[in-house]
Amino acid sequence: MNQLIIENLDPKLTEKLQHLARQHDRTVESEVKAILEGAIKAESLKQQAIAAQAWENIDRARAKYGSMQDAPSSGRFSFCIKMVTVYSFIKNNWYLR
The predicted pLDDT at position 59 comes to 79
Quick one: which H or E segment has residue 22?
Answer: helix 11-23
The predicted pLDDT at position 54 comes to 84
The predicted pLDDT at position 63 comes to 77
What string of pLDDT tens digits covers the 97 residues of the chain?
788 888 999 999 999 999 999 999 999 999 999 999 999 999 888 888 888 888 888 778 777 766 555 555 555 556 666 666 666 666 666 555 4
Q: pTM (2 decimals)?
A: 0.57
Task: Indicate the SS3 state at residue 90.
Answer: helix
The predicted pLDDT at position 80 comes to 65
The predicted pLDDT at position 4 comes to 86
The predicted pLDDT at position 64 comes to 73
The predicted pLDDT at position 30 comes to 94
Q: Is 66 left (phi over 0), alpha (psi -120 to 50) or beta?
A: left
Buried b or exposed e, range 25-53, using 16+ CB within 10 angstroms: eeeeeebbeeeeeeeeeeeeeeeeeebee
Nearest to 22 by CA among 33, 30, 12: 30
Please check whether residue 42 is in contact with residue 35, taking contact to mean a CB–CB distance below 8 angstroms: no
